[in-house]
Amino acid sequence: MSLSVAASTQSLSAQTVYEQLQDVRLKAPRVHAITNSVAQTFTANVLLALGAVPSMTIAPEEVAAFASSSDALLVNLGTLDDTRKAAIPVAIEAARSAGRPISIDPVFVNRSKVRCSFARALMETGPDLVRLNADEMAALFNDRAEVDNLISAGTVFAVTGEEDKIEGNGEDFRLLNGHPLMGRVTATGCAGGAVLAAFLAVGTDKALSAACGLSVFNIAGEIAASNAAGPGSLVPELLDALYALSLRDIESRLKTA
Protein backbone atom coordinates (compact mmCIF):
# COMPACT_ATOMS: atom_id res chain seq x y z
CA MET A 1 0.00 0.00 0.00
CA SER A 2 1.36 3.43 -0.88
CA LEU A 3 2.25 5.83 1.87
CA SER A 4 0.82 9.31 1.84
CA VAL A 5 3.16 12.29 1.87
CA ALA A 6 2.56 12.80 5.57
CA ALA A 7 3.11 9.13 6.43
CA SER A 8 6.29 8.90 4.38
CA THR A 9 7.81 11.99 5.95
CA GLN A 10 6.74 10.90 9.41
CA SER A 11 8.64 7.64 8.95
CA LEU A 12 11.88 9.62 8.69
CA SER A 13 12.75 9.64 12.37
CA ALA A 14 16.09 10.73 13.75
CA GLN A 15 16.69 7.14 14.82
CA THR A 16 16.13 5.88 11.27
CA VAL A 17 18.52 8.47 9.84
CA TYR A 18 21.17 7.62 12.42
CA GLU A 19 20.83 3.88 11.90
CA GLN A 20 21.41 4.29 8.17
CA LEU A 21 24.41 6.53 8.88
CA GLN A 22 25.81 3.84 11.15
CA ASP A 23 25.29 1.27 8.39
CA VAL A 24 27.41 3.42 6.09
CA ARG A 25 30.10 3.75 8.74
CA LEU A 26 30.08 0.00 9.47
CA LYS A 27 29.95 -1.28 5.88
CA ALA A 28 32.19 1.42 4.35
CA PRO A 29 30.67 1.17 0.85
CA ARG A 30 32.86 2.12 -2.08
CA VAL A 31 31.30 4.72 -4.32
CA HIS A 32 32.74 5.09 -7.80
CA ALA A 33 32.24 8.73 -8.71
CA ILE A 34 32.45 10.02 -12.26
CA THR A 35 32.07 13.61 -11.27
CA ASN A 36 32.81 17.24 -11.96
CA SER A 37 36.56 17.90 -12.26
CA VAL A 38 36.11 20.80 -9.83
CA ALA A 39 34.44 18.47 -7.34
CA GLN A 40 36.68 15.41 -7.30
CA THR A 41 38.88 16.15 -4.28
CA PHE A 42 36.07 17.55 -2.17
CA THR A 43 33.77 14.64 -3.09
CA ALA A 44 36.44 12.10 -2.15
CA ASN A 45 37.04 13.80 1.20
CA VAL A 46 33.31 14.00 1.96
CA LEU A 47 32.92 10.27 1.30
CA LEU A 48 35.90 9.47 3.52
CA ALA A 49 34.59 11.67 6.33
CA LEU A 50 31.22 9.97 6.04
CA GLY A 51 32.82 6.55 6.36
CA ALA A 52 32.59 5.49 2.72
CA VAL A 53 35.41 4.82 0.26
CA PRO A 54 35.81 6.80 -2.99
CA SER A 55 37.20 5.77 -6.33
CA MET A 56 37.32 8.36 -9.08
CA THR A 57 38.85 7.12 -12.34
CA ILE A 58 37.25 8.30 -15.57
CA ALA A 59 39.52 6.37 -17.94
CA PRO A 60 37.20 4.49 -20.33
CA GLU A 61 39.56 1.51 -20.50
CA GLU A 62 39.37 0.80 -16.78
CA VAL A 63 36.15 2.40 -15.57
CA ALA A 64 34.09 -0.80 -16.06
CA ALA A 65 36.29 -2.69 -13.60
CA PHE A 66 35.98 0.07 -11.03
CA ALA A 67 32.21 0.51 -11.46
CA SER A 68 31.41 -3.20 -11.35
CA SER A 69 33.46 -3.74 -8.19
CA SER A 70 32.04 -0.70 -6.40
CA ASP A 71 28.99 -0.69 -4.14
CA ALA A 72 27.36 2.24 -5.98
CA LEU A 73 28.01 4.40 -9.02
CA LEU A 74 27.62 8.17 -9.13
CA VAL A 75 27.44 9.91 -12.51
CA ASN A 76 27.68 13.69 -12.30
CA LEU A 77 27.56 15.73 -15.52
CA GLY A 78 29.21 18.85 -14.12
CA THR A 79 32.10 18.76 -16.59
CA LEU A 80 30.99 16.70 -19.54
CA ASP A 81 34.22 16.40 -21.52
CA ASP A 82 35.01 13.76 -24.14
CA THR A 83 36.63 11.38 -21.66
CA ARG A 84 33.65 11.43 -19.33
CA LYS A 85 31.19 11.10 -22.22
CA ALA A 86 33.01 7.95 -23.29
CA ALA A 87 33.36 6.54 -19.78
CA ILE A 88 29.82 7.12 -18.49
CA PRO A 89 27.92 4.59 -20.65
CA VAL A 90 30.61 1.98 -20.02
CA ALA A 91 30.43 2.52 -16.26
CA ILE A 92 26.63 2.41 -16.20
CA GLU A 93 26.53 -0.84 -18.16
CA ALA A 94 29.12 -2.43 -15.88
CA ALA A 95 27.40 -1.28 -12.69
CA ARG A 96 24.01 -2.43 -13.94
CA SER A 97 25.37 -5.86 -14.91
CA ALA A 98 26.88 -6.19 -11.43
CA GLY A 99 23.64 -5.15 -9.72
CA ARG A 100 25.04 -1.93 -8.26
CA PRO A 101 22.78 1.09 -7.65
CA ILE A 102 23.30 4.00 -10.04
CA SER A 103 22.78 7.66 -9.16
CA ILE A 104 22.74 10.36 -11.83
CA ASP A 105 23.18 14.08 -11.18
CA PRO A 106 22.33 15.91 -14.45
CA VAL A 107 24.05 19.16 -13.50
CA PHE A 108 23.17 22.22 -15.63
CA VAL A 109 21.12 20.34 -18.23
CA ASN A 110 19.05 23.53 -18.34
CA ARG A 111 22.12 25.40 -19.64
CA SER A 112 23.15 23.14 -22.53
CA LYS A 113 21.08 21.35 -25.17
CA VAL A 114 23.93 18.93 -25.82
CA ARG A 115 24.17 18.01 -22.17
CA CYS A 116 20.40 17.72 -21.86
CA SER A 117 20.25 15.32 -24.81
CA PHE A 118 23.00 13.21 -23.27
CA ALA A 119 21.19 13.14 -19.92
CA ARG A 120 17.92 12.12 -21.56
CA ALA A 121 19.67 9.11 -23.05
CA LEU A 122 20.95 8.21 -19.59
CA MET A 123 17.39 8.25 -18.24
CA GLU A 124 16.63 5.36 -20.58
CA THR A 125 19.04 3.19 -18.57
CA GLY A 126 16.65 3.33 -15.60
CA PRO A 127 18.84 4.90 -12.89
CA ASP A 128 18.06 4.13 -9.27
CA LEU A 129 18.29 7.79 -8.25
CA VAL A 130 18.20 11.11 -10.08
CA ARG A 131 19.28 14.13 -8.06
CA LEU A 132 18.55 17.55 -9.56
CA ASN A 133 16.90 20.92 -8.97
CA ALA A 134 13.59 22.19 -10.30
CA ASP A 135 15.12 23.99 -13.31
CA GLU A 136 17.04 20.88 -14.32
CA MET A 137 13.90 18.77 -13.91
CA ALA A 138 11.92 21.09 -16.18
CA ALA A 139 14.62 21.00 -18.87
CA LEU A 140 15.14 17.25 -18.74
CA PHE A 141 11.53 16.08 -19.02
CA ASN A 142 8.82 17.17 -21.42
CA ASP A 143 5.99 16.35 -19.03
CA ARG A 144 5.14 14.78 -15.71
CA ALA A 145 4.22 11.48 -17.37
CA GLU A 146 7.88 10.85 -18.21
CA VAL A 147 8.82 11.28 -14.56
CA ASP A 148 5.95 9.08 -13.40
CA ASN A 149 7.01 6.32 -15.78
CA LEU A 150 10.51 6.31 -14.36
CA ILE A 151 9.19 6.33 -10.80
CA SER A 152 6.91 3.40 -11.59
CA ALA A 153 9.92 1.53 -12.95
CA GLY A 154 11.88 2.10 -9.73
CA THR A 155 13.72 5.40 -10.13
CA VAL A 156 13.75 7.76 -7.15
CA PHE A 157 13.90 11.52 -7.69
CA ALA A 158 15.58 13.87 -5.23
CA VAL A 159 14.63 17.43 -6.17
CA THR A 160 16.64 19.89 -4.12
CA GLY A 161 15.78 23.47 -3.21
CA GLU A 162 14.62 25.43 -0.18
CA GLU A 163 12.40 22.42 0.44
CA ASP A 164 13.94 19.15 -0.71
CA LYS A 165 11.54 16.61 -2.13
CA ILE A 166 12.32 12.93 -2.55
CA GLU A 167 9.80 10.91 -4.47
CA GLY A 168 9.71 7.19 -5.12
CA ASN A 169 7.04 4.68 -5.97
CA GLY A 170 4.55 5.29 -3.17
CA GLU A 171 6.87 7.44 -1.06
CA ASP A 172 7.22 11.20 -0.86
CA PHE A 173 9.56 12.92 1.62
CA ARG A 174 9.75 16.66 2.27
CA LEU A 175 12.92 17.87 3.99
CA LEU A 176 13.93 21.30 5.30
CA ASN A 177 17.53 21.01 6.51
CA GLY A 178 20.51 22.85 5.06
CA HIS A 179 22.16 26.28 5.24
CA PRO A 180 22.66 29.06 2.64
CA LEU A 181 26.41 29.11 3.26
CA MET A 182 26.65 25.66 1.66
CA GLY A 183 25.83 27.31 -1.66
CA ARG A 184 28.86 29.62 -1.37
CA VAL A 185 31.34 26.73 -1.73
CA THR A 186 31.85 25.06 -5.08
CA ALA A 187 30.94 21.36 -5.44
CA THR A 188 28.89 21.12 -2.26
CA GLY A 189 25.91 19.79 -4.20
CA CYS A 190 28.12 17.38 -6.16
CA ALA A 191 29.59 16.00 -2.96
CA GLY A 192 26.11 15.70 -1.48
CA GLY A 193 25.13 13.54 -4.44
CA ALA A 194 27.96 11.17 -3.55
CA VAL A 195 26.59 10.91 -0.01
CA LEU A 196 23.23 9.83 -1.44
CA ALA A 197 24.99 7.16 -3.50
CA ALA A 198 26.70 5.83 -0.38
CA PHE A 199 23.37 5.55 1.41
CA LEU A 200 21.85 3.79 -1.61
CA ALA A 201 24.65 1.24 -1.38
CA VAL A 202 23.65 0.09 2.10
CA GLY A 203 19.86 0.59 2.13
CA THR A 204 16.99 -1.51 0.83
CA ASP A 205 14.42 1.28 0.43
CA LYS A 206 15.90 3.69 -2.13
CA ALA A 207 13.66 6.66 -1.33
CA LEU A 208 14.19 6.30 2.40
CA SER A 209 17.94 5.91 1.94
CA ALA A 210 18.04 9.06 -0.18
CA ALA A 211 16.08 10.95 2.46
CA CYS A 212 18.44 9.77 5.17
CA GLY A 213 21.54 10.64 3.15
CA LEU A 214 20.28 14.11 2.28
CA SER A 215 19.33 14.75 5.89
CA VAL A 216 22.77 13.70 7.12
CA PHE A 217 24.58 15.93 4.65
CA ASN A 218 22.38 18.97 5.24
CA ILE A 219 22.43 18.63 9.02
CA ALA A 220 26.22 18.40 8.87
CA GLY A 221 26.11 21.54 6.72
CA GLU A 222 24.09 23.37 9.35
CA ILE A 223 26.55 22.37 12.09
CA ALA A 224 29.47 23.41 9.90
CA ALA A 225 27.89 26.77 9.12
CA SER A 226 27.30 27.45 12.81
CA ASN A 227 31.03 26.98 13.48
CA ALA A 228 32.45 28.58 10.31
CA ALA A 229 33.50 32.18 9.85
CA GLY A 230 32.65 32.01 6.15
CA PRO A 231 32.99 29.82 3.05
CA GLY A 232 36.71 29.22 3.57
CA SER A 233 36.27 27.58 6.94
CA LEU A 234 33.03 25.83 6.00
CA VAL A 235 34.81 23.06 4.11
CA PRO A 236 36.89 21.68 7.01
CA GLU A 237 33.99 22.21 9.40
CA LEU A 238 31.71 20.21 7.08
CA LEU A 239 34.15 17.31 6.91
CA ASP A 240 34.47 17.30 10.70
CA ALA A 241 30.70 17.50 11.17
CA LEU A 242 30.11 14.52 8.88
CA TYR A 243 32.78 12.53 10.69
CA ALA A 244 31.41 13.27 14.15
CA LEU A 245 27.65 13.43 13.48
CA SER A 246 25.74 11.86 16.36
CA LEU A 247 22.21 10.75 17.10
CA ARG A 248 21.83 13.79 19.37
CA ASP A 249 22.79 16.10 16.50
CA ILE A 250 20.16 14.53 14.24
CA GLU A 251 17.50 14.53 16.95
CA SER A 252 18.01 18.22 17.65
CA ARG A 253 18.13 19.36 14.00
CA LEU A 254 16.10 17.06 11.73
CA LYS A 255 13.39 19.13 10.04
CA THR A 256 10.65 17.85 7.76
CA ALA A 257 7.78 19.63 6.07
Domains annotated on the chain, with CATH: 5-253 (3.40.1190.20)
Q: What is the pLDDT of residue 2?
A: 42
Measured from the Cβ of residue 252, the count of other Cβ atoms closer than 10 Å reads: 11
pLDDT digits (tens, 9 = 90+) for 118-163: 999 999 999 999 999 999 999 999 999 999 999 999 999 999 999 9
Phi and psi, residue 16, nearest 5°: -65, -45
Question: Is residue 151 within a helix (H) or strand (E), and if so which, with residue range?
Answer: helix 144-152
- Mean pLDDT, the chain, integer: 95
Residue 26 pLDDT exceeds 90: yes
Question: For residue range 152-182, what is the model confidence (pLDDT) as tens digits?
Answer: 999 999 999 999 999 999 899 999 999 999 9
**Pairing status of strand 102-105 against strand 72-76:** parallel
Hey, what amino acid is at 129? L
pTM: 0.95
